[in-house]
Structure 1
Amino acid sequence: MQINVYSSAEEVAQKAAQWISSLAKSKIESKGSFTFAISGGRTPWEMLAKLAKENLPWEKIFLFQVDERIAPEGHSDRNLTQLFQVLQGTRLMTRLNIFPMHVISENLENACEEYSGHIEKNTGTGKLDLIHLGMGADGHTASLIPGDKVCKVENQMIALTDQPYQGRQRMTMTFPLINQAENILWLITGDEKKEMLVRMLDKDLEIPAGKISQDHAVLMTDLL
């Protein structure tokens, strides 16, 4: 794993935006599109706000969600709500191809299959160019929660958590999908995550973050 340490969460967000912009330009030049999945969180939203200012062919960029809470449309718990707030008033709102997880569906299992279909259709292979990940103080990443059955899913790209986490059931990308990504970008900030960051870097299989492939992965942090 490539490790980049910065002085603050703001610098992490800035450097991440620049790195993603460079990767997007390279992928668009080589194959005509860029497929990107984003997780939620304060630093990622700052990153996305900075990325929105980059001069990119946004109509050739396809943005997916890594995970989402099962909550009503427009609810503050939803990552999509926060994402739209970040992008409100920017040119990305009309030019960027955004694929929301359909967590208000009456059949959430079907919604998982449909989202997998969107990924396969827009990548051609099911392999995303970039997946951004964060990590919780308990070692979870995406909505792959310690002890939840979703961590054992092997034959689905998108799945539901078995139990609510912090009050909400989740829809999430699974280990098989995440681990086949062309690139993985970790943004990890916040002192409460120091212990788990060390365990993740040591590939500790007792925490979900430790099960993510470190091949083709970049870590940007202010903790080391």
Structure 2
Amino acid sequence: MRIRIFDDPDRLAEAAAQEIETWVSLTAPHATIGLAGGRTPLATYRRLRRTGLPWNQVHGWMTDERFVPATDPASNTGMVAEALFDHVPATLHRIPWIEDPMAAAAAYEQQLHGVLEESPTGLKPSLVLLGVGEDGHTASLFPGTDALDVTDRDYLAHWVPQQEAWRLTATLPLLMRARRTMFLVSGARKAQIVADVLEGDSDHPAAIVSRGSKDAVWLLDREAARLLPV
């Protein structure tokens, strides 16, 4: 695991874009990126528009989504499209809008079989971008939910009591099979959970993914990292 700390969110986003550009150049001609919602990834996506990536060789997919159409302001897919994929000739693999969330998740899992690398242990993402919530959730894997126990699926829909809403999400096994996992976290409100995840024996979903990842990289701004030992 690597931890990189930056003075502010702008420098974090710039470094994240550079790391993504390097990774894609190494994995083209079929580079796949698992995409996260949230403010910190948003700044990174906007910077990626200025890079010279071979965009026609890049495939993006959603690590999680709210159960809303892509046109809804709360949609992660809509945010990612507006920030990046509407501006470059890359392919964004969207979750189909089906009024049954479980059917939508099953259809998207099937779609991912044509996008991600197949391996004897299951689908293997290349690069996955993730954030961390103040409660330790990552993607839409929330503490205390049954989704954390699922081992026989790569994508699912579940009711999240904390949000009083349906969420669609990649499962723990799929996220932990990624060749590289990049956590992007900024802000003082995330400092405590960052310390809990990185310094303790936490059972938060973000900690489970980080420990289980083959190559986890944490990009933090100084506020998010302020409780970590220097």
Larger strand share, 1 or 2: 2
- Calculate the TM-score normalised by the size of structure 2: 0.89
8 A contact 2:70–2:76 mirrored in 1: no
Pairwise mapping of residues 30-179 of structure 1 onto structure 2 (< 5 A)?
A: 32-87=29-84, 90=87, 92=88, 95-102=89-96, 104-125=97-118, 126-179=123-176
Name the amino acid aligned to 1:192: R
Name the amino acid aligned to 1:24: V
8 A contact 1:71–1:168 mirrored in 2: no
Q: 1:77 to 1:155 in 2, by over 3 A?
A: same
Give structure 1 regions of 4+ aligned residues with deviation exceeding 4 angstroms.
none
- 1:169: how far off? 1.2
Q: CA RMSD in A?
A: 1.6
Pairwise mapping of residues 184-203 of structure 1 onto structure 2 (< 5 A)?
A: 184-202=181-199
8 A contact 1:36–1:63 mirrored in 2: yes
1:60-102 per-position Cα deviation (integer Å, ceiling 9, x unaligned): 1000001000113411111112122213762x1xx11101122
What is aligned with 1:16?
16
- Calculate the TM-score normalised by the size of structure 1: 0.91
- 1:209: how far off? 1.0
Q: Which runs of 5+ in 2 are unaligned?
A: 226-230
Q: Which runs of 5+ in 1 are unaligned?
A: none
Name the amino acid aligned to 1:49: R
Identity of aligned residues (%): 27
1:95-146 per-position Cα deviation (integer Å, ceiling 9, x unaligned): 11101122x3033323222212222222231111101010001111000011
- 1:171: how far off? 0.1
